[in-house]
Amino acid sequence: MQGKRTIPVYALILLCAVFSACGVLKKSARNAIVPDRIVLTGPKTVKAGACSKAIHVVSADSDEDSAPVTESIDLTITDAGTAKFYYDSTCLVEAGTTLKMPKGYGEILVFMKKNDVGDVTFTISGGNLKAGSKTIQIAPSPAAAITLGSPA
């Protein structure tokens, strides 16, 4: 018959001191990690007319650590000007201004494309989470090569 194994409290304290794991132990000891904000990370610069690298839309706790949502929430993109958002890295499947974060997820990815040069600052909000904002610089695309021919 196998018995239930337990770790004595003094062993946890020793682990905490030796491996500097106190923060991890404290965080895992909390009841439940509840998201209270949206954190946006991703590219700082995108070429005009090009599809951006992934923009990470993260539901996070007060320490800005990813925390999965307990129910599906709709997220709204505002203040994006002429920028468009997409679900895919080739910018073919347009997302519009509403995204969905499914129950149990702590992060979704979106991609952005904007044709005119200049900064774009957008906000994503939804549910009872504090909104997140991000600024991306839209840089000029390289000029197209001009081929000069000799007159006929």
Cα separation, 49 vs 71, in Å, equals 35
- Long-range (24+ apart) CB contacts under 8 A made by 14-21 are none
Cα separation, 16 vs 22, in Å, equals 5
Same domain, 44 and 70: yes
Q: Which domain holds residue 63?
A: 34-139
Residue 150 included in any domain = no
Mean pLDDT, the chain, rounded, equals 83
Say yes or no to pLDDT of 81 above 70. Answer: yes
Say yes or no to pLDDT of 4 above 70. Answer: no
Whole-number Cα distances in Å, 25 to 6, 10, 139 = 16, 13, 44
> What is the domain-level CATH number for residue 135?
2.60.40.10
Evaluate if pTM is beyond 0.75. Answer: no
pLDDT-based confidence at residue 142 (cuts at 50, 70, 90): confident
* Listed range (32-36, 40-44, 93-97) with the worst mean pLDDT: 32-36
pLDDT-based confidence at residue 25 (cuts at 50, 70, 90): very low
Q: Which residue's structure tokens are 């990815």?
A: 109
Cα separation, 138 vs 121, in Å, equals 11
Q: Kindly report, residue by residue over 45-69, the tens digit of the pLDDT.
A: 999 999 999 999 999 999 999 999 9
Same domain, 4 and 68: no
Residue 151 included in any domain = no
